[in-house]
Structure 1
Amino acid sequence: MGTKRSLATKLGVVAGFENPRVALEQYPTPPDLAAHVVHLADLHDDVDGRTVVDLGTGTGMFALAAALRGPARVVGVELDRSALGVARANERRVAASAPVHWIHGDAVRHPLCVPDPVTVVMNPPFGARDGNRHADKGFLRTASDLAEVSYSVHNAGSREFVESFAADNGGEVTHAFAADFEVDAQFDHHTDDAREIDTEVYRIRWD
């Protein structure tokens, strides 16, 4: 197993969105955060030899982080075809040895049938904007359908919601921690060049 630092360094070549869509809350996952989450998953034997599914993969940051840690295969699901094109280019940049399958589809209406055991890693839309409330709920529902275990990034203050959803759907939060999420200005409503968002990461074991 490589170090978390070395994984973050390798992910530094992953390009972000060419034309981010505000309705999809397309913010690129920072390499350090992706490396931290996938390294933790690796420490819990949730990556090596397993199928890893990245729901709402965007340009592939989580999928490619997992692909560098010895999974049987990685599946990245994304609604935006343009983002998938960038993800495929990022796969060539990262040069992961594990097979990566990119699927154009809606993560909350998934058509997936993947080999067990499955680990889901995801940075779903936070649903923080008006008209998009609780957008992460559908992603958690898909994770509960597919996975034995999932790792997901949510807006700060989501613990009660995540724990309640997990308990109602046969899951249990086993780990939770706070994480900074740096966002560069990319939409008209952004007034700062960059800002840090307070987020939380949850590991859920699903029955």
Structure 2
Amino acid sequence: MATKAALEAQLAVVAGFENPKVALEQYPTPPDLAAHLVHLADLRGDVDGKTVVDLGTGTGMLALGAALRSPARVVGVELDADALETAVDNARRVGASAPVHWVRGDATRLPLCLSEREPVTVLMNPPFGAQNENAHADRAFLETIASLADVSYSVHNEGSKEFIEAFADDAGADVTDAFRATFDLDHQFDFHEAERRELDAEVFRIEW
């Protein structure tokens, strides 16, 4: 198994959003966070031989991270056609050997039909719902996961632990791991006052 540092180096070539859309909260997942999440999933046996689905894949960071390990296949679902086009280009840059299928669609109304015998791991960095018109956007993603995944790894806004645990409990699922993550975001939108800001987040592993 390649090291986490090696995976991060491979993902450093992944291009971000050329014209990020504020309504979709299109922030790139940093290579170090993606490498950490994928490496953890691989260590827990949640990647090798599994179908890995990246909901709201954006330009493909988490999907391609998984594809650089040994999944059966990877599916990246994204609503924005421009982002998917970049994801396809990124797959060429990364040179992943595992098959990656890019699907344009709404992750909250998933256009997929997977076999019940097919073990599925979901990786996702969903919209946090930071914009008023997009409040609680991550809940809809979790609702999709509940009917799809055997296990999931997801990134959420800081302070989400109580909500995530309550959601999982209602769904009969178990939160097995939780850790904090901090990453830097470059200035992307007009309402961003600083050129760079630090974002505090939380990552959860859930068995469904």
Q: Same fold (TM over 0.5)?
A: yes
SS at match of 2:5: helix
Deviation at 1:182, TM superposition (A): 1.4
The one-letter code matched in structure 2 to 1:136 is: D
Tell me if structure 2 keeps the 8 A contact 1:51–1:114: no
Question: Could you tell me which residue of structure 2 aligns to residue 137 of structure 1?
Answer: 139
- Per-residue displacement from partner, 1:150-191 (whole Å, max 9, x unpaired)? 000000000000000111112110000000121100100011
Runs (4+) off by over 4 Å:
none
Deviation at 1:136, TM superposition (A): 0.1
Unaligned runs of 5+ in 2: none
SS at match of 1:191: coil
Q: TM-score, normalised by structure 1?
A: 0.98
The one-letter code matched in structure 2 to 1:2 is: A
Tell me if structure 2 keeps the 8 A contact 1:5–1:35: yes
Matches within 5 A, 1:1-150: 1-115=1-115, 116-150=118-152
Question: Could you tell me which residue of structure 2 aligns to residue 196 of structure 1?
Answer: 198
CA distance in 1, matches of 2:106, 2:33: 24
The one-letter code matched in structure 2 to 1:126 is: F
SS at match of 2:108: helix
Q: TM-score, normalised by structure 2?
A: 0.98
The one-letter code matched in structure 1 to 2:159 is: G
Deviation at 1:129, TM superposition (A): 1.6
Deviation at 1:4, TM superposition (A): 0.3
The one-letter code matched in structure 1 to 2:103 is: I
SS at match of 1:131: helix
Unaligned runs of 5+ in 1: none
Deviation at 1:111, TM superposition (A): 1.8
Tell me if structure 2 keeps the 8 A contact 1:74–1:98: yes
CA distance in 1, matches of 2:166, 2:149: 18
The one-letter code matched in structure 2 to 1:195 is: R
Q: Root-mean-square deviation (CA), in Å?
A: 0.6
Deviation at 1:95, TM superposition (A): 0.2
Question: Could you tell me which residue of structure 2 aligns to residue 153 of structure 1?
Answer: 155
Question: Could you tell me which residue of structure 1 aligns to residue 176 of structure 2?
Answer: 174
Deviation at 1:75, TM superposition (A): 0.1
In the comparison of the two structures, how many residue pairs are matched? Answer: 206
